[in-house]
Amino acid sequence: MKGYLIAILLFILLKPEVIQANRGKIKIAEKLNTEKAPPDKMESEVADKWIRHNQMIDLVEAGYLSRIQDLAYIIGNNQNLEIDQDAANTMKNFILSASFSCIPDELPDGVENEEQPEIKASYYFVFYFELSDPHTNKIVSMYEVDASFTAATRLSAHEQAELALNLLNEPGIPTIDQIEADITAQADYQAAKIQYAGTGTANGKNTGKVTVSRIRDNVIGEAKSNPISAFELRCEKGRFKKTNARFVRFEGNEYYFGEPNSISFDYETYNCADFEDDKTEEKFTLVQVSRFSERIVEKVVQEEKIEFNCGSYDISAHYTAPGFADAKVVWRNVSVLIPDDFTNIPVYQAEDFINDEPPEVIVPYAINIPGYGHEYYLSECMDELEIPEIISLSAGLSEAVLWLDRGEEALNKCSVEKTPENPFVHLVLQFDLYIGENEGDGEQITVGTDSDFPNPYTFPWKKLEEEIVTKLQSGEEVRKVLRNQSGSTLTIHFKPN
């Protein structure tokens, strides 16, 4: 009982929903971006104007650098964002950089302003603040602080610089609440892409990968060591192996610093037998659950429904030889799992199955046979003896009897394979019929697809056509009619359950 209570306590403490994200860290860039007058203006008739202009730029750059801490204080902090000038590159979420420009308009000597004779000069100063994500290089927002001044005399470089730097004390400087609102607008995600890759049959054992990508173009502001957004990926029927539950959580930095703008999780399929309705459909939902240091009202970013092959096929074989025999049998609940990539299939050694405890195998798998090579098994019959069920049997002659040998020694088989002898995906299907005057005493008829020997019972089918493989991979119905030179037919029907 004590251990149970400890487990419950740990679950509550560690449950992903209660973990909060972090305050976003903003670092103010210490370099002020400016542009000085080019050298050719220093040789013009108003060279003095541009000399003073460039001197003013130097003074503003120095003054801006000395005011960084004051600027950080003016912008302020709140529960979600803080100005942190000491934030390391792996911790800073945003950069607030500034640029400055000035447009001086000074009248030459002997020229007066007709409308305002007392005005000799005017100056327009502007600071542009750019909030950006240093990891994605995306501009989050722009802010502008500007003012115009007039003077009865031409102002010195120091006078101009003093007027310009006073703008940094103005209420026009962006506040932390303005910045938060702009970040929130960018980090309020509207859509994503959810993809499933893996075996498409839901039998409670198969695993695949669920990948989330394209959460907008980029998640915003996710520092490598300081995430500010959290997401939860949910499913309805299966489970995620990481959490052994129907949800898995990830932070924005895990998404951004993983594969290019994507994150993947191992997913174990549900078992169709556990559900009565919607057996072939799984719904994955991506939810944004927090932003900054607090939870938000859960916002659904994306829902995606994935179709699964619900379990298995009934594979029937209908043999018809006019005037001789007609037989129809079926193998029930046969799982057929043909992968796109055979390199990832588990490979067992032949000697593994000689042991007292042979491995538990799940199709698809391969067995390496020394001196022969790999045999790939891509289907599994529910009955390990592969005994088919009889649908109908009739002999063409009235005095004859047709029966199916269902003993352990019978040559009854239904298997999708790929072997060194036949390297194509093919169906090995055969069943042992007998015809005679009395049941138990008659001529053997082994009807099948795996023999090239020409007789009325053989129907060589050495390769499943590409369109058939594609249909079987997606759980679709397949019907194939095989004919031989004797006029007999064998109709094979893959019917999804």
For 283, the 3-state DSSP assignment is strand
Q: In what order do the strands lie in the sheet with 138-151?
A: 81-83, 24-33, 94-106, 121-133, 138-151
Q: Of 293, 382, 333, 353, which Cα lies nearest the Cα of 494?
A: 333
User: Is-contact 235 246, C-beta < 8 A?
Assistant: yes
459 in Cβ contact with 426 (< 8 Å): no
- Sort residue 359 into left (φ over 0), alpha (ψ -120 to 50) or beta: beta
CB distance 334 to 315 below 8 Å: yes
Cα 300 from Cα 15, distance rounded (Å):
20
Q: Determine the Cα–Cα distance for residues 170 and 190; give it in Å rounded to an integer.
A: 36
- 388/406 Cα distance (integer angstroms): 8
- Report the first-to-last Cα separation within the chain, whole angstroms: 44
Domains of the chain and any CATH numbers:
15-186 (3.30.160), 193-307 (2.60.40), 313-338+378-496 (no CATH)
Per-residue pLDDT of the chain (497 residues; tens, 9 = 90+): 344 344 334 433 444 444 455 899 999 999 999 999 998 887 777 889 999 999 999 999 999 999 999 999 999 999 999 999 999 999 999 999 999 999 999 988 767 776 778 889 999 999 999 999 999 999 999 999 999 999 999 999 999 999 999 999 978 899 999 999 999 999 999 999 999 998 777 878 888 999 999 998 789 999 999 999 999 999 999 999 999 999 999 999 999 987 788 999 999 999 877 777 788 899 999 999 988 877 788 899 999 999 887 757 999 999 999 999 999 999 998 888 888 889 888 999 999 888 878 888 878 899 999 999 999 999 988 666 678 999 999 998 888 999 998 888 888 999 999 999 999 999 999 999 999 988 888 899 999 998 777 788 999 999 999 999 988 887 789 999 999 988 999 999 999 87
Structure tokens at 31: 């370099």
